Amino acid sequence: MPRSRTMNTSPVPVWGLGFLLSQVGAHAAARFAERLVPLNLTPPHVGVLGVIKHADGLSQQALGEMLCIFPSRLVGLLDELEERGLVERRDSPTDRRAHALYLTQAGRDALEKIGLIARELQDALCAALNKSEREQLAAFLTRIAAQQGLTSGVHPGYRKLGGAEPK
Amino acid sequence: MPRSRTMNTSPVPVWGLGFLLSQVGAHAAARFAERLVPLNLTPPHVGVLGVIKHADGLSQQALGEMLCIFPSRLVGLLDELEERGLVERRDSPTDRRAHALYLTQAGRDALEKIGLIARELQDALCAALNKSEREQLAAFLTRIAAQQGLTSGVHPGYRKLGGAEPK
DNA sequence: TATTGTTATACTCTATAACTATA
DNA sequence: TATAGTTATAGAGTATAACAATA
């Protein structure tokens, strides 16, 4: 009886594709967080920056809904980003209760660096795959994400509660 | 200029394959945890059960090293599994300080149910892919996991600190 | 003196609730 | 009366440190 080509040398059972997705995904997330440390940022910070970049002037309320982050949590994240000079809270022109969020130049620069980090990480993670395999993998994951109702750019790890989607 | 087939309808930027892996992986993990709730178990519990099944009689020390879990944390996890009647702490025959860990019949039954849950989840997660695509995806992820030094069955989420591998 | 498992404590992250000021 | 943002508080999960029994 022939052994399978990918022999299991581990002391523990294999839980299938679900486990594999989760395992590799957690690894990717950990490596990303690691590479953000020199920038003094965390993945949720990056999520916030990314949304503001593409929706300049939005309110904290709107931002929280997009990322499924509680308003109270956003306060801290934005405080940190503002301290570091990456984000500005301006007064909303239409509602004196609300803030309008903007990236500073430093914020845009940081996003550039983050994009570079993400590309380097992608290369490192996919070292085992050639170009066409990477494209296939991306296509598979994109289809899964779409079918599962995941929103592009919204990480379940930002979420409040069980990973609900933004409205 | 033709639009790509997988149009990005999101309010936020796409961070590439690393983000996609992490996003889909976190989703898979959340859905798995969700399906474990009726069994009154969490993913770390499952990791522990899986290792004990394949290394009956091992010590807490050894178990912790395999899963990269701190001994003090293991105490709580094992307390819960013992309370639920899934695991037994017997006296080690060779070292009166140590415990030898064993699954009960209920523990083995629970692992059966968990296996079923994992297979159902896999089907749900991969609804967008046909059989051969799932196999390709599994092959890609297995290669990535191997190249990245991940140990089969050891989830980075169990880990102490930055996702180090077991010795 | 080192190691096994335990307990007690602290720390990090996130959610909940209460509050202020506007609308 | 409801909403935007804030503050204060609490909870979950995990790491660190100190400890008793045994090696």
Residue B116 burial (10 A CB sphere; 0-12, 13-18, 19+): exposed
Of A7 and A25, the structure prediction assigns the larger pLDDT to A25
pLDDT band for position B165 (cuts 50, 70, 90):
low
Q: How many residues does chain B have?
A: 167
What is the arithmetic mean of pLDDT over B48-61? 97
Q: State whether A6 and B66 contact (CB < 8 Å).
A: no
Residue B159 is predicted with a pLDDT of 72
Q: How far is B101 from chain A (nearest CA, A)?
A: 15
> What would the pLDDT profile of B61-109 be if each residue is shown by its tens digit?
999 999 999 999 999 999 999 999 999 999 999 999 999 999 999 999 9
B51 touches chain A (CB under 8 A): yes
Residue A157 is predicted with a pLDDT of 87
Query: How far from each other are the two terminal CA atoms of chain B, in whole angstroms?
Result: 53
> What would the pLDDT profile of A84-142 be if each residue is shown by its tens digit?
999 999 999 999 999 999 999 999 999 999 999 999 999 999 999 999 999 999 999 99
Q: Identify the weakest region by mean pLDDT among A8-17, A44-53, B146-155.
A: A8-17
Question: Which residue among B23, B126, B134 sits closest to A156, beta carbon to beta carbon?
Answer: B23
A149 touches chain B (CB under 8 A): no
Of B36 and B165, the structure prediction assigns the larger pLDDT to B36
Is pLDDT above 80 for A167? no
Is pLDDT above 50 for A50? yes
pLDDT band for position B160 (cuts 50, 70, 90):
low
Residue B53 is predicted with a pLDDT of 97
A47 touches chain B (CB under 8 A): yes
Q: How far is B138 from chain A (nearest CA, A)?
A: 6
Return the number of other C-beta atoms located less than 10 Å from residue B146's C-beta.
14
Residue A151 (CA) to nucleotide C10 (C1'), in angstroms, measures 37
Q: State whether B154 and A10 contact (CB < 8 Å).
A: yes
Residue A9 is predicted with a pLDDT of 42
- State pTM to two decimals: 0.91
pLDDT band for position B4 (cuts 50, 70, 90):
very low
Is pLDDT above 80 for B118? yes
List chain A residues with CB under 8 Å of B118.
15-16, 18-19
Q: What percent of chain B has a predicted confidence (pLDDT) above 70? A: 87
SS (HEC) of chain B: CCCCCCCCCCCCCCCCHHHHHHHHHHHHHHHHHHHHHHHCCCHHHHHHHHHHHHCCCCCHHHHHHHHCCCHHHHHHHHHHHHHCCCEEEEECCCCCCCEEEEECHHHHHHHHHHHHHHHHHHHHHCCCCCHHHHHHHHHHHHHHHHHCCCCCCCCHHHCCCCCCCCC
What is the arithmetic mean of pLDDT over B41-45? 97
Residue A153 is predicted with a pLDDT of 85
Using CA atoms, how far apart are residues B43 and B35, in angstroms rounded to an integer? 10
Looking at the DSSP bridge assignments, the partners of residue A87 are A103
**Cα–Cα distances in angstroms (integers) from residue B109 to residues A134, B50, B70, B103, in the given order:** 39, 12, 27, 10
B125 touches chain A (CB under 8 A): yes
The answer to whether B36 CB sits below 7 Å from nucleic acid chain C is no
Residue B153 is predicted with a pLDDT of 85
> What would the pLDDT profile of A55-81 be if each residue is shown by its tens digit?
999 999 999 999 999 999 999 999 999
Looking at the DSSP bridge assignments, the partners of residue A102 are A88
pLDDT band for position A31 (cuts 50, 70, 90):
very high
Q: Identify the weakest region by mean pLDDT among A15-29, A48-62, A148-162, B14-28.
A: A148-162
The answer to whether residues B48 and B154 touch, using CB atoms and an 8 Å cutoff, is no
Q: Fill in the DSSP letter of residue A114.
A: H
pLDDT band for position A13 (cuts 50, 70, 90):
low
